[in-house]
Every structure is written in C-alpha cells, then in structure tokens.
Chains A and B, each alone.
Chain A
Amino acid sequence: MKRAAAATAAGRSDAAGRVLADAIRQGRRWYWQRMSAMVLALCVLVHLVTIVYAVRAGLSAEAVLARTRGSLAFGAFYGVFVLACAVHVPIGLARIAEEWLGTAPRVADAAASALAWLLAALGLVAVYGMVAG
C-alpha cells in the first residue's frame, strides 16, 4: 500500500503527490483505528468487569497470580488486548500530536510506529509475567 502510494505520487506533481500520499496514509490510519476499536470494545468490557471482580475479591499478588498463572485463556485474551492497544493508542496519539502540537504527519507516523512496537513489547512482557512469571 505504501509502495502504491509512492508510485502514484511519483506520477504527479510534488504537491499533488503529497496530498494523495497523506490521504492514503489517513485512510490507512482510520481503518486500523476502527478495526482495533472493535476488538478493544469487547476487551475493555471484559476488562472492566474483571477489574471490579478482582478489586472486590481483594488485590493481593497471591490472589491475582493464582488466577493468572498457567492460564492459557488469560494469556490469549490479554495478548490480543495488548496487540489491539498497540495498534489503537499510537494512531490516536499521532492524531493529537498533529492537531494540537502541529507535528508533521510523517514525523507523527514514524513516532507512532515506534510507540506501537514499544507498547506491544511492554504489554506482552507484562502478560508473560502474569502467566508464566
């Protein structure tokens, strides 16, 4: 998709090419933001119920880890949750950076990609810690 955008842009004037490439980039962001949002809507609902349940039961490492350690279901669910966050959060922050800080779209995109990998790594390590730690 990136290559298609560059190729299409190359055949036009620089300004028109940039506008087209930015439009394609925005469309791609919109798509992934909404797709991740659909996954997150379910994950967050389950997470909110889990939070209330866990807090009612009392938050101690022993009580929490007894439920999470060795649980494939916990690992799979929160693994998906983390990856959806890693897609969703950086796109939102990139948009805010552009609108509120005036960050250039290309810079915001590059920072968002880096943040996506960082969040995925931090989140998956945390899930690993809760399941296998």
Chain B
Amino acid sequence: MRRASDWRAHRHPSWWAFVAHRVSGLALAIFLPLHFLALSTALRGDAALDGFLRYTERPLFKVAEWGLVVLLAVHLAGGVRILMIEFAPWSGLRKDFIALTCGAGIVAGLAFALALVH
C-alpha cells in the first residue's frame, strides 16, 4: 500500500542515511557486472587486460573510480550501521553512525586520491 510521504521526516538525518545507502547501492549494482566483464578480459591474455587498464587511465575513468570507491565505503559504513541497529544490543549511537558513514566516505576518498597521485 502506498502512503503519502510526510516530508517533515525528510529533514531527519536517518532519511539522508537511507538515501545515501540506496543511491550508493544502486550505483554499485549497476557497476558490478561491468567490473566483472572488464576483469574477464584476463581470460584473453595479459595484453587484453593491459589494453583495458590503459584505456581506464583517462581522467574521466579515474574520477568515476574515485566516486565508486567513495560510494563503496559509504555503503559499507551505512550497512554496518543498519546491522548495528538491528542486531547490536545497544542504541543511542545511531546519529554517530551516520557521522561515521560520512567519515568513511571521506577517508576512502582521500586514501584513493592519494594512491592515485602517488
């Protein structure tokens, strides 16, 4: 049954945590089969995989990769938050976990960016 949305709830940090988890999950789900297909080029030999890896050295791919790493970290931290809410005995840490999710995205983004310029 569909209910009219109460927009007041959309100001709550938990709603933004839900949006971040859903959007990151959707983007990762779209990327995953492409990732598998790209890695499967290794079956056609080193040259085929190397050709693909050279192709992905373009700046646009690097920006996309950076975004995917951030989304993966955000989805991981957001997922752990959900597991904590559902399975852990304690409560009261929920907004802290949302902050941790943001932190995980920033840490992963910085680590990947630093590795890129290394």
Contact = CB atoms under 8 A, between A and B. Distances in A.
Contacts of A48: 69, 72-73, 76, 108, 111
Nearest to B118: A56
Contact residues on A (Cβ < 8 Å of other chain), bracket: 35 or more
A9 interface: no
Nearest to B21: A92
Contacts, number: 99
Contacts of B50: 60-62
Give the dominant DSSP class at A's interface: helix
Given A41-B76, A52-B112, A126-B36, A89 B29 contact: yes
A89 B33 CA distance: 11
Interface string A68-83: 0000000000000010
Given A122-B36, A129-B39, A92 B118 contact: no
Q: Top 9 nearest A-B pairs by Cβ distance?
A: A61-B50, A129-B42, A61-B49, A126-B39, A122-B36, A129-B43, A55-B115, A133-B42, A56-B115
